[in-house]
Amino acid sequence: MKNIDPVKALDDKVERLKKDVNQLTTRIENGQTEAAQQQLSTNNQFRDTTRKIAKTNERVTELAESVHRLERLLVALNRKVRASETQKADFDSWPEIPKPLIAKILAGQEAYARKAFTPQEAKDTRKAIAEYDRRAAEAIDAAEALTTLPANAEALWRKKYKQWRAITEHERPQPPDENTHARDTAAKSAGNEAVAEARQKIRSRIEDAVARDLLFPAWFENMLGPAAPPGKADDWLYTATDVVLYRLLHDVTSPADALGSPPQEQGHRRTLHDRLIVECANYRKP
């Protein structure tokens, strides 16, 4: 029987395992290299595709701008052709909407802008006024006392001075004016009636211009487009009426800019201006 050296047998086994480990290591390294190369290739393809998309977007933007310029040129050309052949609509002269009617609308808007007291607010305000008046009387007494206090009455002097300062740092609340409330109520009602009358006259003239296919003023067409979008005629007419009324109320006379310079202060005019800008932009979309 052949003797087997256990140590040698173990060494042989270790060597075989080392070879297996080396082979596995080589395979892993090769796989990592291939994966890295594949990732690099993918990244390069991604960058190339991104560059192509960016160039395509630039080209689409250029084409869109070219189309937009062409549209403006066509609109201008169309207006010139129509101007030589078509009667023009007049949306700038409104003798049937006199200045007193405009004044009623503006007065109504001012009345809406003023704060209106509810019955509870009026009650609370009167209570606050009574408290202010009471403290004011105390402050006046304190101020008069300051002139008669002896020089060594420092603590009392400070107390009286504090009473005086407490009232001078506040303002007396404005009392609710019943007459103003009544006037504002009347102004609001008259203003609403005036708006309805003016809008009816403006809309009628716009509808007549549409029915007769008249040439709109440049400012009107720049703002609202050459015609109402399909399916939105009533909304378009409503907005168009407001655009004309805005020009009348705020004395806008620009032949190209329908609304003129945007108002800086917050209020009814600013709100209406911003709404018309948004609505008209939607009507001009292709």
For residues 207 and 210, give the distance between their C-alpha atoms in angstroms, rounded to a whole number: 5
The alpha-carbon radius of gyration of the chain (Å, integer) is 41
Give yes or no for residue 17 having a pLDDT over 80.
no
CA atoms within 13 A on the CB side of 91: 32
Place of tokens 């002896």: 150
Whole-number pLDDT of residue 36:
63
Q: Are 272 and 113 in contact (CB under 8 A)?
A: no
Query: What value does the mean pLDDT take over residues 218-247?
Result: 93
For residues 190 and 107, give the distance between their C-alpha atoms in angstroms, rounded to a whole number: 9
Whole-number pLDDT of residue 258:
94
Whole-number pLDDT of residue 267:
87
Of 244 and 171, which is predicted with more confidence?
244
Of 168 and 126, which is predicted with more confidence?
126
| Listed range (71-80, 139-148, 157-166, 173-182) with the worst mean pLDDT | 71-80
131 — pLDDT class (breaks 50, 70, 90): confident
φ and ψ of 256, to 5 deg: -120, -35
The DSSP 8-state label assigned to residue 88 in this structure reads: B
Could you tell me the residue ranges of all domains in the chain? Answer: 1-85, 88-116+189-286, 118-175
Whole-number pLDDT of residue 285:
80
**Mean pLDDT for all residues in the chain:** 79
| Listed range (78-87, 91-100, 130-139, 177-186) with the worst mean pLDDT | 78-87
Residue 108 CA, chain-centre distance (Å), reads 25
The DSSP bridge partners found for residue 215 are 88
